[in-house]
Amino acid sequence: MLKTIFTWWNGATVGTLFTISKRGVLVGTDEFGNRYYESRDHKSYDGRRRRWVVYDGYAEASKVAPDWYGWLHYTFDEPPTEVPLVRRKWELAYRPNMSGTPLAWRPPGSLANEGIRPAATGDYEAWKPE
């Protein structure tokens, strides 16, 4: 309960949930559990309805799927629940950014990569001032 009241990075706070219930309309959810809202009125500075996301768990912007990202940034007028984004056969499945996590990719030779670093090949010649 205290986490809901005081921490905004673990989902919405009580004040945010109150504002959403008063001013927002739930448009849909994605496969990560994030909830997407749109304002009931046209109170935005540019005359458009304001759109926002309430993250499920830790607030990380890379957890927004590409189709919802387009809707949030007014690239698409209709939300993905009404008009799904067309997927091409060559497109990979969406994955959130894993940088800074244990699942991040670490190239061979990286100090963060576990294992033995490859030996130097001898193709480097140090500079010597003349």
The verdict on residue 130 lying in a domain is no
The verdict on residue 124 lying in a domain is no
The verdict on residue 108 lying in a domain is no
The verdict on residue 74 lying in a domain is yes
The verdict on residue 16 lying in a domain is yes
- What residue numbers bound the domain in which 15 lies? 1-103
**Within 13 Å and on the Cβ side, how many CA atoms surround 110?**
8
pLDDT, mean of residues 106-117: 74
pLDDT above 90 (res 36): yes
The verdict on residue 62 lying in a domain is yes
* Average pLDDT of the chain, as a whole number: 81
How far apart CA 54 and CA 74 sit, in angstroms, is: 17
The pLDDT tens digits of the residues spanning 76-85 come to 889 998 888 8
The verdict on residue 64 lying in a domain is yes
pLDDT above 70 (res 5): no
The total number of structural domains that make up the chain: 1
The verdict on residue 7 lying in a domain is yes
Count helices and strands in the chain by DSSP H and E runs = 3, 3
Confidence of residue 73 (pLDDT cuts 50, 70, 90): very high
